[in-house]
């Protein structure tokens, strides 16, 4: 897959993220502090990575900031993006399985390299669930994307 990665900080774990994605065979597009001369501000680089997904230039994105919160909020402002801030493998699995998340948000502060590996394993192993009991989750995602989460 082609994956956009943004980070507002040039931290070792952000570099490890890019390396791990390449090891998995993905093509990586960098934004923010990971790309010399780019705007490293978290809202700007997260939005740029999210727009890559929304506008079809990338299949998925991983957006990072110190807490992960700003990056996830900025990415979720882009229509068509479902960004999930994941702190562990279970959450990453659920984000793909039940939310059809297309952007993974990570906090640089708490994501160690071993935890990063677990999160990526879970994220890429999972797919949106097609189980009958999960169909309502798929419907919820569709309603969110069309702006009609609350039914009249």
Ligand X SMILES: O=C(CO)[C@H](O)[C@H](O)COP(=O)(O)O
Q: Which residues bind ligand X (CB under 6 A)?
A: 8, 42, 65-67, 69-70
Which residues, 6 or more positions from 7, have their beta carbon under 8 angstroms from its beta carbon?
14, 17, 31, 32, 33, 34, 40, 45, 63, 64, 65, 108
Closest approach of ligand X to the CB of residue 84, in Å: 15
Question: Count of alpha carbons within 13 Å of 143, Cβ hemisphere only?
Answer: 11
Closest approach of ligand X to the CB of residue 128, in Å: 27
Which CB atom, from 86 or from 100, has the smaller least distance to ligand X? 86
Which CB atom, from 24 or from 109, has the smaller least distance to ligand X? 109
| Axis-axis angle for helices 135-145, 89-99 (nearest 10) | 80
Q: Which residue has the tokens 């960004």?
A: 83
The residue with its CB nearest to ligand X is: 70
Which CB atom, from 67 or from 87, has the smaller least distance to ligand X? 67
Which CB atom, from 6 or from 26, has the smaller least distance to ligand X? 6
Residue 118 to residue 36: CA distance in whole angstroms: 29
Catalytic residues: 65
Closest approach of ligand X to the CB of residue 70, in Å: 3
SS3 106: strand
SS3 16: helix
Q: What are residue 62's DSSP bridge partners?
A: 5, 104
Closest approach of ligand X to the CB of residue 45, in Å: 10
């Amino acid at each position: 897959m082609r994956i956009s990665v943004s980070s507002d900080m040039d931290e070792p774990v952000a570099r490890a993220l890019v390396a791990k994605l390449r090891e998995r065979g993905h093509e990586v597009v960098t934004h923010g502090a990971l790309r010399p001369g780019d705007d490293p501000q978290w809202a700007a680089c997260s939005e740029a990575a999210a727009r890559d997904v929304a506008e079809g230039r990338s299949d998925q994105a991983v957006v990072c900031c110190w807490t992960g919160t700003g990056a996830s909020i900025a990415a979720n402002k882009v229509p068509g993006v479902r960004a999930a801030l994941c702190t562990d493998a279970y959450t990453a699995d659920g984000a793909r399985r039940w939310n059809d998340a297309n952007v993974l948000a990570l906090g640089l502060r708490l994501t160690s390299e071993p935890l990063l590996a677990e999160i990526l394993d879970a994220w890429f192993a999972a797919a949106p669930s097609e189980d009958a009991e999960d169909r309502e989750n798929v419907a919820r995602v569709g309603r969110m994307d069309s702006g009609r989460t609350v039914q009249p």
